[in-house]
Amino acid sequence: MNKQITYTGMIWLLAAQLVVMLPFLFDLPLWLLPVLVVVAWWRLRVLAGAASQPGNVVKLLLIGLGVGGLLLSGLRFPSLDAMATLLLLGFAFKSLEVVQRRDAIVVIFIGYFLVALHFLYTQSLTAALYGMVSMVVLTGALVGVQQAITEFSTGQSVRFNLRLAVFMLLQCLPLMMVIFVFAPRIAPLWSIPLASGQTQTGMTDRMAPGDIEKLGKSDELAFRVTFKGKRPAQHELYWQGLVLNHFDGHEWRQFDRDYDVYQLKTALMSHYRWQPERMQVQGNPVAYEAVYETSGQPWLFTLSPAVEVEGDVLRGADYRVMAQEALQAPFLLKAVSYPATQRDVVLPEYLRTLALGLPSTGDQRSRELAQRLRREAGSEQVYIDKVLARFHDLAFEYTLNPPTLGDKDTIDGFLFDSKRGFCAHYAGSFVFLMRAAGIPARVVVGYQGGEWNAAGQYLAVHQYDAHAWTEVWLAGRGWVRVDPTTAVAPSRVEQGLEAAVQAEGSFLADSVLSARKMPWLNGVRQQFDAVQYGWRRWVLGYDREEQAALLKSALGDLSVGKVALFAGGLFAAIGLFWLLALGMAQRRQPEAPEHRLYRRFCEALAKRGARREPGDAPGAFAHQAAEHLPALAEVIREFTQVYEGICYAPPADGRVATRRLKTLLGKIR
């Protein structure tokens, strides 16, 4: 038989809705919150008798307004944002027609689904902790909407519901862990397109003056790296992402036309594919694991060249490593790099053509400078040294706030006029001068360095570590890394960006409240980041390979029968745990304060010779006890009246009545 929801139950339901919807407001339209507030206000007025239940016309009007707001929000259809917003609208509007308890249960079950849905937006540790809080509140609401109004006072009800919700969820914890460990790690059967540009962060596939310095002003995390052996020196940490070959006079791109991800994947599997035979592996290996943050882009960053790679990746002729799809979740990569390896000692003709391309016109002063210095140099290495010496000797300045250079003759404007720039200015102009002198060269973008976290023993690479450098091709040596920024600001590579721009005070100038700029918070920040990395590595990074390795270490040689037997034993243990937990819970039924005080009241009277029989009602027992103990008759009658009042006609503030019971009990003892 369905029963109407109580006022207290409705409060629980609306509180649960608010808790579930709050985290979505960081990604979805903010007007969803006022919608929930208005709906909650209206529903409470209905319960209080101050308003009427909305009719069908009003409901249709609200639905129309909600859909109209959704269309005006500019969300792409179909997309995760649009679908989630529509579901949240229904979640909020549903409370308007909640009358029976079963209606409230439907709303709560939708809330459980929304808690899971939010993990499509973020899978951080803080999101997981908030999800646990949401589950507790939803389960507390599930208990609350089925609770009789006279069962507890308000404060007791909140404590009891939350305590029971936590107990119920803790019972699920062993089963959750077994499913997490043993459930097959399979790819999703379908995908929902995300909103355009929703998670596009970090390095892009093009570079113009001013682009990378924008990243240099952000302390957002890019990826974390754990080394399996000795950590390389700071100046050796060049994390290559993309190679930019084409220059149109203003910006550098990968190729002479834009490729979407599908076309780029096709190129990397055909004419621009990785050919390991073009490497002469030498030097010491560097083994590491990298966990990349969600970026909405497929670029991965490795020490080049990454000779051995574990993961679902693509590799290119320029020694890049790229994910199969844009990163919409943290991505784990295991790699072994040999930085001293010679690459492309014999340069393929199509790569030579890419590495020599320049616009037919423009930047004439730079072309003439290159030709003059090349004639004076005699050899390619001497020419390279001359260009670097020019950066060093002519008072060029490294800055996060370079002047604008316009859209034409940007190389001339930097080399001869402003002489103030960030790494992109130096890398772009250096490659231009190399190509103008007939030396194959290319721009490489990625990250340089990183912050060592002693608490977690890993390297954290942030967006402000974004960097651009160059590679030149020399006969007999192949591609050689040259970083022209070191000629102007060697501290950038040795100590990081903060040291390089310390004099101008521009490091994270727009992030005044960044913990990175507060030394007294650094220890706490690093400890918290270490915990976050553990979550990323061991929970979100638990894939098929990790699962197989864990099961093999626990069970030895794997077989279907052995895994099934082990999993069956764990399920049996969980069942036994549940039986014991339920038995202990049954033995420890909560006792309301008034009942506990009445029990003690009866025990105190029994010591004085007035014993209550199991079938005696409180009023009848009070009459008998008063006759037996006339000196306490008034106290006995008042105690019984207050107790019966709490049980059958709960007062507005039960705490006052409970305190009165304690006072009267003290007079009997």
Known catalytic residues? 423, 467, 483
d(CA 280, CA 182): 42
The alpha-helical segments, DSSP class H, found in 537-649 are: 544-555, 560-587, 593-607, 618-628, 633-648
How far is Cα 141 from Cα 12, in angstroms, rounded to an integer? Answer: 5
In this structure, what token pair is assigned to residue 254?
Answer: 């990968």
Give the span between the Cα atoms of 109 and 105, in whole angstroms. Answer: 6
φ, ψ dihedrals at 185, nearest 5°: -90, 95
Phi and psi angles of residue 332, each rounded to the nearest 5 degrees, phi first: -100, 130
What is the spatial distance between Cα 171 and Cα 392, in angstroms, rounded to a whole number? Answer: 67
Cα 111 off chain centre by? 21
Other C-beta atoms within 10 Å of 489: how many?
22
The tokens describing 286, both together, are: 């560097």
Q: What are phi and psi of 321, to 5 degrees?
A: -125, 130
Q: Given the structure tokens 């040291």, which residue do they identify?
A: 499
Task: Give me the residues paired with residue 478 across strands.
Answer: 474
CA–CA distance, 114 with 21 (Å, rounded to integer):
8
The separation between the first and the last C-alpha atoms of the chain, rounded to the nearest angstrom, is 46
Closest C-alpha among 448, 400, 409 to residue 428:
409
CA 468, 469, 472, 476 torsion: positive or negative?
negative
- Beta-bridged to residue 303, according to DSSP, are 239
Taking alpha carbons only, the member of 311, 307, 309 closest to residue 325 is 311
C-alpha distances in Å from residue 601, one per residue of 150, 604, 627, 651, 657: 22, 5, 16, 21, 15
Cα separation values, 638 from 286, 611, 634, Å: 82, 18, 6
Q: Is 129 left (phi over 0), alpha (psi -120 to 50) or beta?
A: alpha
Write out the two tokens for 454.
């002693």
Q: How far from the centroid of its chain's Cα atoms is residue 406's Cα?
A: 38
Residue 445 in 3-state DSSP? strand
Tokens matching residue 319: 């020694």
Do residues 594 and 646 touch, judged by C-beta distance below 8 A?
A: yes
What residues contact residue 129 under an 8 Å CB cut-off, 6+ apart?
Answer: none
Instruction: Locate 620 and state its tokens.
Output: 């009848």
Q: Residue 100: beta bridge partners?
A: 4
Specify the 3-state DSSP secondary structure of 330: coil
Quote the Cα angle for 356-361-365, to 5°. 90
